[in-house]
Chains A and B, each alone.
Chain A
Amino acid sequence: MTDRPEAAGRPLPRGSARRLAAGRGRYADDLRFPGLLHLAFVRSPHAHARIVKIDPAPALAAVPAAKVFTGADIAAVCTPWQGKMDHLPTLVSPPQHAVAVDRAVWQGEPVAAVAAASRALAEDAAAAVAVEWEPLPAAAVRDRTLDADAAPAHPELGGNLAYAAAIRAGDPEAALAGSAHVVEACFSFARHTGVPLEPRTVIADYDPGEGRLTVHGSHQAPWHQQDTLSRHLGIPEHLVRVVTPDIGGGFGIKLHIYGEEIAVSAVSRILGRPVKYTADRLESFISDIQARDQRVEARMGVDADGAIRGLSVDALSSFGAFASYGRAPVNEGMMTISMAGGPYANGHYEGRLRIAFQNKPPSGMYRAVGQPIACAVTEQLLDRAAHAAGIDPVEMRRRNYWAEDAFPLRTPGGIAMDRLSLRQCLDRLVAMMGYDALRAEQAALRRSGVYRGIGVATFLEMTAIGAERYGPAGARISTQDGATVRLEPSGRVRCVTSVIEIGQGTLSALAQIVADRLGVAPEDVGVVGGDTALAPYGGGAWASRGLTIGGEAAWRAAEGLRANILELAGSILQADPAGLDLAGGAVCDRATGETRITLAEIGRIGHFRQDTLPPGVQPELAVTRHYAPDDVPFALANGVQGSSLEVDAETGGVRLLGHWVVEDCGRIVNPLLVEEQIRGGVVQGIGGALFEECRYDEHGQLLNGSLADYLVPMAAELPDIHVGHVETPLRGTALGAKGAGEAGTVGAPAAVLLAVNDALRPLGAQVSSLPITPEAVLNAIAAAA
């Protein structure tokens, strides 16, 4: 029919890349609005304090035109929200105001908003606002927040426990007691944050005439934003429009509801003028959601031949001061206990979770949510068990994976698995990284006092989560995405999607998908998204869903348009549509491939010359389709990562030598995009493993709130990252794609942790706290000596 290769599957460069590389990106802060006011916030210097009095007079003396809004002023037009989940009635989180009223519960919580003609003037005025405080004791040390004498993060709750859960399968106590080898460890995963390079930015423009609110912002879930603004500001939803321009990275940070961002709309509503807020980097560190922050005590028992007999995981997780609103705030902890042990055959499992409040910024979803913790805990215990049983770590994994004929199955943690490609990924990885040669080199170098380590970690990535998980929680989050595909009169194609582009390249991949269905070139498909008033309703960019869900919706919309085009062509040509096909920008004869009529001609007649069509024929040259995962609750991707590194026993420094990933995200639409998602994710995982930590003192004061003090991975510290693929198409969808956005971040911390401990083993030392700082390595070596 056509000898042009399908676009899907090819490593095509992204359409928007050239524009961005020319500096022509339009991010929220670049947009201009006439009459714009800028908002700055007065923030609590205390982790926990009562607001005795706010005096705006000095601010007005400094900047007479400034306008100061206290929490109560904002609350007059904006109702508070609560991070609840309907199906978890025991989850408690107090009401949260956009701007604190009466009491501030973390250092950095906004307590007043100040509007002025420029950012600089707004900051001048905000700095002059006089606030009288009554400091209160703060819950600020994670591992002590549940002690009987711990200060309460919220005195009215009567304790810091926010939620507790347990999972149990088989008889874990007996299984562990009967094991030939039992290994255990207490892990700590530091609190860190996402650090998208573009800080959060929002511009709200309320038009009192029409009662219409238009918001431009750097946000991953504009529909969630629209819903929240409508309900809490009392503006009918059809009058709220959220537009996302180019977004400078998100990683989950920008899918949450933030007090500052809602306050911007509240102030615009009060003043009837456009109002803007851009976080600076210091504010980002004290107000962006923070993540991880868990202590996990875990035990694994294995037989003499290495087979896992039982696993027990006890996690203490932290929410910060509030459960994040409207999402699934318990998930960092729940993912830990539900995903732990996932890749491995085991019938005896116990997972316990407690989540505690602290007086710190609210915790939320950051790339890979809880899964890096589950992965690191499982893989580290498995490595220790392998060592105890005298089995090579790679062989240990091969022996313990679920048998190929065990699928589909449900793990003891409750994770539904259709089919995975664990062994294929492992075999590929071992070959790619040259595992045996690395082991030989390691042994040789060890004799000369060089400590090299190798880590191999299996990971699972839960992607494209469906309504089964968010629906019962009452979260007003759509797990569906939609697309409209339209034939333009020229024969070119336009696709409007609910998918949000934050750098992944999803819109370009949608063009490839649509192009294939309609027999045109990808460059002849224009894809736009990011406008809740114009695009079909959807979810946005989170949970690695863009292609699996948004791609499937686009596929189906294109399929619908294809049928309509063929039907119209049938009417025009007086031919049976079943004998026609689309290729090369034209309708052709299915049997001979001969062109019958071009898409441009179809577009011209369909849009401009309906008068020439047979009576009763109505051209439908735009089709909208939606897709939500139906038969599976999520798409489970899997893979294996390998790390090779060297530990300097004198300085405690870790030098990364190489990193390898073999992943299976189902059918790959664009390998160029997938591989860079993987690499970027790996580096964020490495950040969590070696560098990143929001360091707080015991009073809840952030000690490293700048990019100079909060370490992020830079180019010089990183190795090359080699990526390989196995493709097991997702069943139940036409496209077969699973998500890939978080895979790197899930598995990298485990691979690095395992490699560090592999290097330290001959010294008798082990580490189990992330990030693995040089100090921690030296302490571990000293403790072992």
Chain B
Amino acid sequence: MEEAAEIALTVNGETVSARVEARRHLVDFLRLDLGLTGSRLGCEHGVCGACTVRVDGAIVRGCLMLAVQADGADVWTIEGLSDAGEIAGLQDAFVARNALQCGYCTPGMLLTAAEMLKAGRRMTRPEIREFLSGNFCRCTGYHAIVDAIEAVMAERFRD
């Protein structure tokens, strides 16, 4: 007995309507139904942050939100933010600093970093680390990620 519902939402600035199973979470919907595979699954229980997406202006864990809950929402993923150029500075810094290895955590990290920039000020390294503490990276040891974000903040928020 598959319960399904009609939803309509905006994904990366485009209107989408679909019929989705009630149990399908937002990232499965993005990945399987829309082919937006940049949002990744690392745990599906809300710990690793690989599934981080932006919903109505704030980052959420896409694995903890059902697709039906996104009805009417404005959803942005790594693909949309990349194309729009909004996170280009962060991406440049991540690349230059080699702040990614396997890259599996990177979309989630970048969305979280973009959220950090919204504060509009330079953060200390401990503050950056604290903000990142919901995003698991098994490869880098975080140091380079902190460096990259710090560099973007230093560039953007000169006092």
Say yes or no for A109: interface residue by CB 8 A criterion.
no
A498-506, A510-518, A603-611, A624-632 - interface stretch: A498-506
For chain A, give the interface size range: 35 or more
Residues on the A chain within 8 Å of B142, using CB = 683, 714-715, 718
Most A CB contacts (10 A, CB to CB) among B91, B128, B135, B146 go to B91
Q: Is the CB of B106 within 8 A of A680?
A: no
Q: How far is the CA of A562 from the CA of B146 in the complex (A)?
A: 42
Q: Mark A699-715, 1 if CB is under 8 A from B, else 0.
A: 00000001110001111
Q: How far is the CA of A24 from the CA of B98 in the complex (A)?
A: 16
Q: Is the CB of B98 within 8 A of A503?
A: no
Determine how close the nearest CB of chain A comes to the CB of B134; give it in whole angstroms.
8
Determine how close the nearest CB of chain A comes to the CB of B117; give it in whole angstroms.
16
Say yes or no for A377: interface residue by CB 8 A criterion.
no
Q: Mark B9-25, 1 if CB is under 8 A from A, else 0.
A: 00000000000010110
Say yes or no for B102: interface residue by CB 8 A criterion.
yes
Say yes or no for A233: interface residue by CB 8 A criterion.
no
Q: A120-B23, A503-B103 are in contact. Are A679 and B144 (CB under 8 A)?
A: yes
Q: Is the CB of A197 within 8 A of B82?
A: no
Say yes or no for B48: interface residue by CB 8 A criterion.
yes
Q: A22-B82, A281-B43, A715-B132 are in contact. Are A197 and B104 (CB under 8 A)?
A: yes
Say yes or no for B145: interface residue by CB 8 A criterion.
yes
Residues facing A in B95-146 (CB within 8 A) are 95-96, 98, 100-107, 110, 125-126, 128-130, 132-146
Residues on the A chain within 8 Å of B47, using CB = 706-708
Residues on the B chain within 8 Å of A505, using CB = 98, 101
Q: Is the CB of A246 within 8 A of B101?
A: no
Residues on the A chain within 8 Å of B38, using CB = 22-25
Q: Is the CB of B42 within 8 A of A198?
A: yes
Q: A196-B138, A198-B42 are in contact. Are A248 and B104 (CB under 8 A)?
A: yes
Residues on the A chain within 8 Å of B77, using CB = 23
Residues facing B in A704-740 (CB within 8 A) are 706-708, 712-718, 720-721
Q: How far is the CA of A716 from the CA of B39 in the complex (A)?
A: 23
Say yes or no for A672: interface residue by CB 8 A criterion.
yes
Q: Is the CB of A21 within 8 A of B40?
A: no
Q: How far is the CA of A14 from the CA of B102 in the complex (A)?
A: 11
Q: A197-B105, A716-B130, A716-B133 are in contact. Are A27 and B40 (CB under 8 A)?
A: yes
Determine how close the nearest CB of chain A comes to the CB of B59; give it in whole angstroms.
15
Q: How far is the CA of A718 from the CA of B38 in the complex (A)?
A: 27
Determine how close the nearest CB of chain B comes to the CB of A684; give it in whole angstroms.
7
Determine how close the nearest CB of chain A comes to the CB of B80; give it in whole angstroms.
9
Say yes or no for B79: interface residue by CB 8 A criterion.
yes
Q: Is the CB of A280 within 8 A of B44?
A: yes
Determine how close the nearest CB of chain A comes to the CB of B87; give it in whole angstroms.
9
Name the prevailing secondary structure of the A interface residues. loop
Say yes or no for B45: interface residue by CB 8 A criterion.
yes
Q: How far is the CA of A683 from the CA of B100 in the complex (A)?
A: 14
Of B31, B91, B126, the residue contacting A18 (CB under 8 A) is: B91
Which of chain A's residues has its CB closest to B95's CB? A17
Say yes or no for B50: interface residue by CB 8 A criterion.
yes
Q: How far is the CA of A504 from the CA of B140 in the complex (A)?
A: 10
Determine how close the nearest CB of chain B comes to the CB of A255; give it in whole angstroms.
15
Say yes or no for B70: interface residue by CB 8 A criterion.
no
Q: Is the CB of A198 within 8 A of B104?
A: yes
Residues on the B chain within 8 Å of A679, using CB = 140-141, 143-144
Say yes or no for B94: interface residue by CB 8 A criterion.
yes
Q: Is the CB of B129 within 8 A of A246?
A: no
Residues on the B chain within 8 Å of A503, using CB = 100-103, 139
Determine how close the nearest CB of chain A comes to the CB of B142; give it in whole angstroms.
4
Q: Is the CB of B43 within 8 A of A502?
A: no
Q: Is the CB of B102 within 8 A of A676?
A: no
Residues on the B chain within 8 Å of A706, using CB = 43, 45, 47
Which of chain A's residues has its CB closest to B81's CB? A23
Residues on the B chain within 8 Å of A211, using CB = none
- Can you show 22 pairs from A to B with CB atoms below 8 A apart? A17-B94, A17-B95, A17-B103, A21-B91, A21-B110, A22-B78, A23-B38, A23-B79, A24-B38, A196-B104, A198-B42, A248-B104, A249-B102, A281-B48, A505-B98, A676-B98, A682-B141, A706-B47, A707-B45, A714-B133, A715-B128, A715-B137
3 tightest Cβ-Cβ pairs between the two chains A and B: A23-B38, A20-B103, A23-B78
